[in-house]
Amino acid sequence: MNKVADLAEETRDGETVVRLSGSLAIACLGELPNRLDALQPPLAAIDLTNVDHMDTIGAWTVHRTARRLQAEIICASDDCRRLIDAVGGLDEPVPIRPDHVHPLRRVVGQIGEAVSNSGATLVGLVGFFGATLVACWSVIRHPSRFRINAVVQRFEVVGVSALGIIGLMSFLIGIVIAQQGSVQLRQFGMEMLTINLVGRLTFRELGVLMTAIMVAGRSGSAFAAQLGTMKLTEEVDAMRTIGVSPMEALVLPRTLAVVVMMPLLAFYASIVAIIGGGFLCAVALEIPPITFVQRLREVVPIHDLWVGLIKAPVFGIIIALSGCFQGLQVKANAEEVGLRTTAAVVQAIFLVIVIDAFFAVFFTWVGWN
Amino acid sequence: MSEEEIREAEERRVDEAIESGDIAIKVRGLKNSFGNQVVHEGLDLDVRKGEILGVVGGSGTGKSVLMRSIIGLQMPDEGEVCVFGESMVGRSDDEALSIRKRWGVLFQGGALFSTLTVAENVEVPIREYYPNIGAELRDEIAAYKIRMTGLPTEAGPKYPSELSGGMKKRAGLARALALDPDLLFLDEPTAGLDPIGAAAFDEMTRKLQQTLGLTVFLITHDLDTLYSICDRVAVLADKKVTAVGTIDELLATDHPWIQEYFNGPRGRAATAAVAREKDKAGQVPSDGRR
């Protein structure tokens, strides 16, 4: 039954007639559409006597050729006639893609959109911060609404489960700083200064910064994806309908958890980084651990620790807010969850570094240097 | 005759039917399980060519799982699945390709590719299987398929996220029909549609089935769909197909779930509606039992 479709031109009573044969189904069409397209007018008729089977795609090819050349379709079997009439009745152009836009216009449009989006995001984020504070205040006024279980559970997810990876990362970073520092300082014969470098750098900057980046990647992204999915499945709307504020039930526990966990994780990261540095000093520079600790106590002022610990909760707020904010912005589809998650992490890390720069200037200004 | 003999006779009859090309899908001794939970066990089913077979069953009886095992998305633990006389179990994707071209599937939510427009969605199977079809013809094919499923022309360049639920289903159907399949799988096509939209969808399914000579495997909860367009209905219960037949035949069985299903308040309402239709058409209702 599945014979390859074929066509033959012949002349009847001085008029050109095309005779089609075989199976006009998509699998058997082969080159037939192109050959039909190559036909030139005038064409009187398309003869379907020898067509033994047809599907709508075959019917459409016949119909469009007949329409283009204004030819008559003759000798079609009932089945073929029905199909051709069915598709012929649907002959109306349908646009396939959205209208094409000039590239220059598109680029300008995209830049404009990006700028206005960034502005809107910043305003939205500030608004979101405000909303979180309001939620916080209302929970303080009604302590019974405080979701202690949710917060404690987040403590575990954000803090305890991160200990392994943050510890490993910090240990290695401590080693790298000590190693790179010692190579440079050896040129001046001041290898002992490696201890200053490791101690001050990790407490002031790297401990908290690397922790923030890791938490943004682990928890900020998770917040955005969780809330985004909840938004998609209308869980957030359901919550609101029942009278539970999503800000109190979802955002506040997460924010609190990150704000509380960040200083602890940052302190832990700094200590582990220092252990890493001390390890390298002991192995490669032959500085015994006891000397390392003693020297550390002499050269690292206590306010270095405060600098790190003051920055940590602020970074935590930024990470939690951008994660939750982006998650709750999800509207349309699953793809947006991915985009928003990426946005949450990028935004959090970017803002953390910007704020860190401000902190650096501020702490120098107050004399903690 | 003993039950064994009846069963053998039935087997023979089905085998003959397959040889003569009358059976589109044959499922034998299918077993599916997830962990400890057995969904199907010893499930047999035949779908005849050119019929609309409705598949019903309570939630969790594995209607969708059955469909997924037939189309090869779910590897059955045991059993045999033949589509157009070709065994599908244990086939590699490449080997199954020639059969895959002959069916179209409409998933529950439409399952449209979200980064492509509706028209581009319809073009995907054509582009994939028949790259020799020119772009212009492909666009035209997509156009009439879209019109065929009753979508307005403006729907063509829209993205799935811009469509309503009913339009998504129609667009999904247009994609399922892209290659003019012989066999169409519909997973709850009318779920989530308003009654008018659902009736229109039923009507369209029937019309397309008649025009294109389709075999339709239709999973549904919609009693109106069962009454209005299904030639036969298969009931999934107790991990297998408990009964297959026309609704009248099913009503004659005494399986509690079937009785509950068709004689519950909703079932009676649907029956009454069909009887009214038939009265209007000047016919005597064929169902004289109740």
Q: In the numeric block, which tokens belong to residue B5?
A: 């003999």
Strands B78-83 and B215-219: unpaired
Q: How confident is the model at residue B285 (pLDDT cuts 50, 70, 90)?
A: very low
- Report the gap between the CA of B250 and the closest CA in chain A (Å): 33
Least confident piece of the model among B36-40, B49-53, B276-280: B276-280
pLDDT at A327: 94
Any residues with CB less than 8 A from the CB of A311 and at least 6 apart, and which?
A: A208, A266, A355, A356, A359
Of A33, A37, A332, the CB nearest to B161: A332
Across A208-212, average pLDDT: 95
Rg, Å, chain B Cα set: 20
Q: Is the pLDDT of residue A202 over 60?
A: yes
Q: Which residue has the higher pLDDT, B52 or B90?
A: B52
- Mean pLDDT is highest, among A167-176, B62-71, B82-91, B270-279, for A167-176
Q: Which residue has the higher pLDDT, A289 or A88?
A: A289
pLDDT digits 0-9 by tens, A147-160: 888 899 999 999 99
Specify the 3-state DSSP secondary structure of A98. coil
Q: Which residue has the higher pLDDT, B137 or A320?
A: A320
For all residues of chain B together, what is the average pLDDT?
81
d(CA B288, CA B64): 34
Contact A56 B212 (CB under 8 A): yes
Q: Which residue has the higher pLDDT, B212 or B287?
A: B212
Mutation for B interface: A96, A101, A331, most B CBs within 10 A: A96
Mutation for B interface: A63, A77, A94, most B CBs within 10 A: A94
Q: In the numeric block, which tokens belong to residue A211?
A: 């922790």
Tally C-beta pairs within 8 A across A and B: 85
CA A218 to chain centre: 13
Q: How confident is the model at residue B288 (pLDDT cuts 50, 70, 90)?
A: very low
Q: How confident is the model at residue B289 (pLDDT cuts 50, 70, 90)?
A: very low
d(CA B26, CA B56): 18
- Report the gap between the CA of A50 and the closest CA in chain B (Å): 20
Question: If you write DSSP's letter for every residue of A110-153 in order, what string do you get?
Answer: HHHHHHHHHHHHHHHHHHHHHHHHHHHHHHHHSGGG--HHHHHH
d(CA A348, CA A316): 9
| Alpha-helical segments (H) within chain A | 32-38, 56-69, 78-88, 103-141, 148-154, 163-186, 193-201, 207-215, 221-232, 235-242, 246, 252-280, 289-299, 302-329, 334-365
Nearest-Cα residue of chain B relative to residue A79: B211
CA A144 to chain centre: 36
Across B147-159, average pLDDT: 86
pLDDT at B283: 53
Strands A45-54 and B52-57: unpaired
Within 8 A of B156 by CB-CB distance, chain A residues are 94-96
Q: Is the pLDDT of residue B19 over 80?
A: no
Across A210-226, average pLDDT: 95
pLDDT digits 0-9 by tens, A96-139: 888 888 899 999 999 999 999 999 999 999 999 999 999 999 99
Specify the 3-state DSSP secondary structure of B23. strand
Specify the 3-state DSSP secondary structure of A366. coil
- Report the gap between the CA of A95 and the closest CA in chain B (Å): 5
In this structure, what are the phi and psi dihedrals at residue B183, rounded to the nearest 5 degrees? -130, 135
The three-point CA angle A28-A33-A34 to 5° equals 125
Q: Does A36 touch chain B (CB under 8 A)?
A: no
pLDDT at A259: 95
Q: In the numeric block, which tokens belong to residue A262?
A: 């960040």
pTM (two decimals):
0.69
- Mean pLDDT is highest, among A172-186, B14-28, B102-116, for A172-186
Output b/e per residue, A250-282; b: 16+ Cβ within 10 A. Answer: bbbbbbbbbbbbbbbbbbbbbbbbbbbbbbbbb
Any residues with CB less than 8 A from the CB of B45 and at least 6 apart, and which?
A: B25, B26, B27, B30, B66, B234, B241, B244
pLDDT at A52: 81
Mutation for B interface: A2, A57, A84, A85, most B CBs within 10 A: A57
Query: Alpha carbon of A157 to those of A160, A326, B162: distances in Å?
Result: 6, 20, 37
Of B114, B147, B211, the CB nearest to A92: B147
- Report the gap between the CA of A353 and the closest CA in chain B (Å): 34
Q: Do residues A27 and B179 make contact, with C-beta atoms less than 8 angstroms apart?
A: no
- Report the gap between the CA of B211 and the closest CA in chain A (Å): 7
Q: In the numeric block, which tokens belong to residue B275?
A: 């009887």
Across B99-104, average pLDDT: 84
Question: If you write DSSP's letter for every residue of B199-264 in order, what string do you get?
Answer: HHHHHHHHHHHHHHT-EEEEE---HHHHHHH-SEEEEEETTEEEEEE-HHHHHHS--HHHHHHHHS
pLDDT at B5: 66
pLDDT digits 0-9 by tens, A285-338: 889 999 999 999 999 999 999 999 999 999 999 999 999 999 999 987 777 899
Of A33, A57, A90, the CB nearest to B180: A57
Nearest-Cα residue of chain B relative to residue A98: B157
* DSSP-assigned beta bridge partners for residue B25: B47, B83
ipTM of the complex: 0.73
For chain A, how many residues are written? 369
Is the bond into A42 cis (omega within 30 degrees of 0)? yes
Q: By CB neighbour count within 10 A (0-12 exposed, 13-18 middle, 19+ buried), where does A152 fall?
A: exposed
Q: Does A241 touch chain B (CB under 8 A)?
A: no
Any residues with CB less than 8 A from the CB of B24 and at least 6 apart, and which?
A: B47, B48, B49, B83, B84, B182, B183, B215
